[in-house]
Structure 1
Amino acid sequence: MEITLKGDKEFEEIPSLKTKALRINLNEHIYGTFAEIGAGQETVRQFFRAGGASGTIAKAMSAYDKAFSDAIYGIENDKRYVTEARLRKMLDHEVNLVEERITREAHPNKMFFAYANTVATIDFAKKYKGHGWVGIKYQVDPNQGYNEIVLHLRFKENDARLQQETLGILGTNLIYGAFYKYNEPKKLLRYLYDHLDKDQLEIDTINFSGPLFDEVDNRLMSLQLVKNGMTDAVMFAPDGNNVLPARVLYKKNILALRGSFRPVTKVNMDMYQKSYDMFIKENRVDLNKTQVVFEITLSNLRAEGEIDEQDFMDRAKLLCSLGQTVLISNFQEYYKLVEYFSQYTKSRMGLSMGVNNLIDIFDEKYYRHLSGGILEAFGKLFFKDLRVYLYPMQNDDGSLIDSENLKVHPRMKELYKFFKYNGKVVDITDYDTSVLGIFSRTVLKAIADGKDGWEEMLPKGVAKLIKEESLFGCETEQAYLGE
């Protein structure tokens, strides 16, 4: 057993890889297949080495040749192999084979499983570090249906052999956690990094399904990935489900809006719509290859201390209900968000924001950790093909602040002018004057105080959803009121 210091509170024992594999092997009821494509037989090797594997491993295989792999699992529509669809075909195929070949009559207590991965390790030029899909389909009761845990990883190491070893450790942790930690999915998630460092790999998507996980909210599990530092950002599609960011952002023009969206208001949607209308008219912006992203940074979620997970769920749910794609990130600074997007696209990007956000961008205190300070940050931010769409702010006296009269720190004046007059900052002019006075904090206070009228400050359907599901502490007997 390894003993590691967990924080500064207590010692926690972490089972060795051999201990984990041996516990699986010595469970006479666990029986299944290992199918690993693209990075060797690194996971099953741990189980062979541990001993006692003959009663656990039905088969171990690698279909490295593409033609042979296609003959077994079929041909993907996109002709790709390192995909979620490929992984799920592998899991289904291998489970079906076990079910066909091992009769329940002869083995009534067997809990079948299939572990699979399809992975691309680092290329010879070391230009692409590699990524992969890993999953397990399994039972914990022979009389129940199958459960699935599927995740996507991105390698960070620069050596193919090291990446293979990392994959083997992750796979062992996943199989062990699936059988022995399934009733604590948040802990299962953390245990995936047993004997691993976060500098070795990133897990940016995970989904649980099946009877064991009926109560698991995969969006909440995604939040854990970001909270635990396993990834910098996770994404939800408009249907509310987790989605791989690379799949959504690859080679797209991206328009991003950052906010707390607590809750999303008419002014947020006006900012989105008006900036979108401007963005799609830009040169080099293809309407059919444009993706809008509503981003919530954890620095906002932590504004009042530890993250309130239910509060997070409420915000994401409302944005998704409006048909939006949501990104939850660890990026406090905008330049980090732009760098993140740049992993997936070289196309034009836009940031839609209010006056206060732009003033913050020109605040030097956010860049003291950079050796090049604010200039380094701005080089990373505006070096890309990026434009800021600025939404005006209304003062108490009714006057407006826009790019022409906003005030940054005196030392930043010339820098601001440089970007402003080089077309990197443009004003949103066709805004709805009737919504300028709407603020999320006003809506929240009205909800908390049980006052009327806040419904009119929100996009259609949002107030109804807040009432129906008692979001943000809303209490009402008639969910339809106010719509």
Structure 2
Amino acid sequence: MAVDVDKEREFRDTVSVENKALRLNLNENIYGTFAEIGAGQETVRNFFRAKNPSGTIAKTLSAYDKDFSDAIYGIGENKRYVTEARLKNMLAYETGLIEQRITRNRHPNKLFFSYANTVATIDFAKKYKGHGWLGIRFQTKPKEDYSEIIIHVQLHENNAAKQQISLGILGVNLIYGAYYFHDDPVHLVNRLYDHLNSHKIEIDMINFTGPAFKDVDNRLMSLHLVKTGKTDAVMFAPDGNNVLPADLLYKKNILTLRGSFRPVTKVNLNMFEQSLELFKKENKVDEERILAIFEITLFNLKNEGEIDEKDFLDRADLLCSLGQTVMISNFQEYYKVVEYFSSFTRERMGLTMGVSTFIEVFKEEYYNHLSGGILEAFGKLFFKSLKIYLQPQKNAKTGEIITSENLEVEPRMKELYRFFKDNGRVVDIEGYDPHILEINSRKVFEMIREGQPGWENAVAEDTARLIKEYNMFRKKE
């Protein structure tokens, strides 16, 4: 077997957990507190095991009892403890305390930090795998405002003790990265997995804030998590901030529109608006609990070669300006999207797509990796009465409008298609604007890229204004 030189070098350059803790302990200026609840004191244990722990540890705390935890950090909303809000309360309280108790007169050069986690490991019945929040508030210069890194993790190991060990390793990697890699956040994220892998711990959300990260766009950090296989999907809200998918998707009725959105055209908006109205009328769909998601797959981002970060941010900015929630995923097949959502909600779901995309879904070649082939995939795709809302397509040559009634799938798939069609799983969007069916998003993109006039008619007025104002999608000089 050939040796992967890059991997060998990375292995040699990976500092052991013990040596990371030791280097921090021997730095006379790095000094802080550890507050760990829910999974023992796994992170700080690594610092105690290394030499000179008193050089780094001001205090360690495990407020395991809920009443003690409430007395220290306050009562959380709905009495929940494994939340981002609880973690932030812990970090704010502990950094405030160290500032009160360690005087600057005696320690003018100290770089204070507070590390905290609040975690639920796998339960005894192994019904819930476990998850948790980890974070650090820290200074890179004495007396400066604190910077912060907040992480959410899913725990995949099937044993609580193993999960605790992995959490301890991740905690050390986080503290070490905050101090030694804060000037390179992408490298910092990569080093979080030193001595770990995504089969043990999955980081599905990360946010950087504060003076050390003033130039960091957290959406790019989310993209990096997906691009490097650390998680399958990330989400951010209309304000552009990363959000935890589990929190956003929980018990929601979900309507998803997938696309390249390069840019968002009137066709996209019309599809979305019309399918949303149809979705609201579905049985057992609570209008108050509908979450609409515009999804961009990594496959779409890579379609034009190496991922262009500005191009990605341009798409994200346009979608957020329209008030939309955005998901970036590693799911090329639609059934994987449905499987993912189904892990967070049992409510009704809908997918919005155009005729050409729908025909592609019925190609058997995409499901050769499944033992059950396309039948297995469709069993997952049409989970829980899922419906597909179909945007008609205009045949460029004949002018014919193609709908679910006259579209053509592969001959072997006709009976399968008819089964889902006859059972009401495929619904035509009838309130479409016939004047926009000729809009071709690739042509619109090329016109913008080349600086050609006339593309403005294919997008919303505010979208056109933003594209011009921020010089989006233009060819690099």
Q: Identify if the C-alpha distance between structure 1 residues 172 and 447 changes in structure 2 by more than 3 Å, giving closer, same or farther.
A: same
Query: In structure 1, how many angstroms separate the alpha carbons of the residues matched to 2:9 and 2:410?
Result: 44
SS in 1 for 2:384: coil
Q: 1:197-246 CA distances to partner (integer Å, 9 max, x unpaired)?
A: 21001101100011010000000000000011010000010111111111
Deviation at residue 364 of structure 1 after TM alignment: 0.8
Match of 2:164 in 1: 164
Query: 2:417 corresponds to which residue?
Result: 416
Deviation at 1:5, TM superposition (A): 5.4
Instruction: Tell me how far 1:63 sits from its aligned partner.
Output: 0.5
Query: Which residue of structure 2 lines up, in the alignment, with residue 366 of structure 1?
Result: 366
Paired position in structure 1 for 2:86 = 86
Kept in 1, the 8 Å contact 2:285–2:348? The answer is yes
Residue type of the alignment partner of 1:357: T
- In structure 1, the partner of 2:351 is 351
Task: Give the conservation status (yes or no) of the 8 Å contact 1:274–1:430.
Answer: yes
SS of corresponding position for 1:261: coil
Aligned partner of 2:400 in structure 1 is 399
User: Residues 337 and 190 (structure 1 numbering): CA distance in 2 closer, same or farther, change over 3 Å?
Assistant: same
Aligned pair 1:103/2:103, yes or no? yes
Corresponding residue for residue 455 of structure 1: 456
**Shift of the alpha carbon at 1:4?**
9.0
Question: 1:58 is paired with a residue of what secondary structure?
Answer: strand
Tell me which amino acid in the other structure corresponds to 2:84.
E
Q: What's the TM-score once normalised by structure 1's chain length?
A: 0.96
Indicate the residue corresponding to 1:46 in structure 2. Answer: 46
Correspondence list, 1:108-257, <5 A: 108-257=108-257
C-alpha displacement of 1:6: 3.2
> Which residue is equivalent to 1:480?
none
Decide whether the 8 Å contact of 1:153 with 1:205 is kept in 2: yes
Q: Do the aligned partners of 1:4 and 1:13 also contact (CA within 8 Å) in 2?
A: no
Letter in structure 1 aligned against 2:168? G
- The worse-fitting range, judged by mean Cα deviation, of 383-392 and 330-339 is 383-392
**Aligned letter for 1:173?**
N
Q: 1:34 to 1:10 in 2, by over 3 A?
A: closer
- Alignment of 1:15 with 2:28, yes or no, is no
Contact 1:355 1:401 survives alignment (8 Å): yes
Q: Which residue number corresponds to residue 338 of structure 1?
A: 338
Question: How far 1:398 sits from its partner (Å)?
Answer: 2.0
User: Partner of 1:380 in structure 2?
Assistant: 380
Structure-2 separation of matches of 1:366 and 1:295: 19
Preserved CA contact (<8 Å) 1:267 1:438: yes
Once the two structures are overlaid, the 10-residue window that deviates more, 442-451 or 161-170, is 442-451
Cα shift at 1:258: 0.4
Q: Distance in 1 between matches of 2:209 and 2:452?
A: 40
Q: How much does 1:384 deviate?
A: 2.6
Provide the identity percentage. Answer: 64
Q: Shift of the alpha carbon at 1:78?
A: 2.6
Judging changes above 3 Å, is the alpha-carbon distance between structure 1 residues 383 and 448 closer, same or farther for their aligned structure 2 residues?
A: closer
The alignment yields a C-alpha RMSD, in angstroms, of 1.4
Q: For 1:474 and 1:10, how far apart are their aligned partners in 2?
A: 36
Q: CA deviation at 1:416?
A: 0.6
Distance in 2, matches of 1:222 and 1:271, equals 27
Structure 2 contact 113–138 (Cα < 8 Å) conserved: yes
Structure 2 residue identity aligned to 1:98: I
Report the CA distance between 1:456 and its aligned residue. Answer: 1.7
Residue 442 of structure 1 pairs with residue 443 of structure 2: yes
Aligned-partner residue type, residue 132 of structure 1: G
Contact 1:235 1:245 in 2 (8 A): yes
Which residue of 1 is the match for residue 302 of structure 2? 302
Q: Cα 1:9–1:75, aligned 2, differ >3 Å: closer, same or farther?
A: closer
Identify if the C-alpha distance between structure 1 residues 76 and 9 changes in structure 2 by more than 3 Å, giving closer, same or farther.
Answer: closer
Rounded to whole Å, the distance in 2 between the matches of 1:289 and 1:14 is 46
Name which of structure 1's ranges 177-186 and 71-80 shifts more when overlaid on structure 2.
Answer: 71-80
Q: SS where residue 106 of structure 1 aligns?
A: coil
Query: 1:254: how far off?
Result: 0.2
Letter in 2 for 1:43: T
Q: Is 1:466–1:474's contact at 8 Å kept on the other side of the alignment?
A: no
- Cα distance change on mapping 1:5 and 1:127 into 2, 3 Å: farther
1:448 deviates by: 2.2
Aligned counterparts of 1:70 and 1:175: Cα–Cα separation in 2: 26
User: 1:479 aligns to what?
Assistant: none
SS in structure 1 at match of 2:293: strand
Relative to structure 1, is the Cα distance of residues 8 and 271 closer, same or farther in structure 2, using a 3 angstrom cutoff? farther
Secondary structure of the residue aligned to 1:170 is: helix
Q: In structure 2, list runs of 5 or more residues that go unmatched.
A: none
Q: Deviations over 1:300-319 (max 9, x none)?
A: 11112221222111111100
Q: Which amino acid aligns with 1:306?
A: E
Q: Does the CA contact (< 8 Å) of 1:173 and 1:192 recur in 2?
A: yes
Give yes or no for contact 1:4–1:14 (8 Å, CA) kept in 2: no
Query: Secondary structure of 1:224's match?
Result: helix
* Pairwise CA distance, 1:8: 7.6
Deviates more, 1:438-447 or 1:338-347: 438-447
Q: Paired residues, what number?
A: 473
Q: State the alpha-carbon separation in 2 of the partners of residues 235 and 453 from structure 1.
A: 33
Distance 1:89 1:346 in 2: 32
Output the CA distance in 2 between the equivalents of 1:79 and 1:265: 44
Structure 1 runs (4+) greater than 2 angstroms displaced: 3-12
